[in-house]
Amino acid sequence: MAPLVQPERNKTWSEADHLFMSKALELARHAQAQGEVPVGAVLVYGGEIIGRGWNRPILSNDPTAHAEIEALRKAAAHAGNYRLPGSTLYVSLEPCVMCAGALVNARVERLVFGARDLRFGAVRSKFRLADSDRLNHRVCIAEGLLAAEAAELLAAFFKDRRDRE
């Protein structure tokens, strides 16, 4: 099932938001070129990208090698701390349960994602994990930035896979 394309609900997207989401989409295309599900992520602190990631669980034989986790690992290494307060993660697809939990544990301040993931999305579609009032940290969530482009990448990837089968 293709992800739901949501309109850009946040009418106050900054130029930086567009720039960083475009970088995440570039990484999603990189994942796609490697035969991975096209999801890309960048983690930004102080206007600088300190972590980048793209899906690579197939090539790495690692079920945790999601774009968000890869970006968080690199950002934490860069910061010298597993907590990343004041940071923003830009990701082309709504995070899953594992990734949403990692965002909370890392104390990421803000999440900006493109397309919703109706099957596995854990911040809006299936659950509202990242900003749950039951947790000690809540991530500020903005959705829908460049959602159509992100959804098109995913739809083309899965269509190509179905056509090959």
Q: Which residues contact 145 (CB under 8 A, 6 or more apart)?
A: 8, 10, 13, 17, 18, 21, 90, 112, 113, 114
Dihedral sign from CA coordinates of 120, 8, 47, 127: negative
Q: Which residues are catalytic?
A: 68
- Give, in degrees to the nearest 5, the angle at Cα 105 between 102 and 106: 85
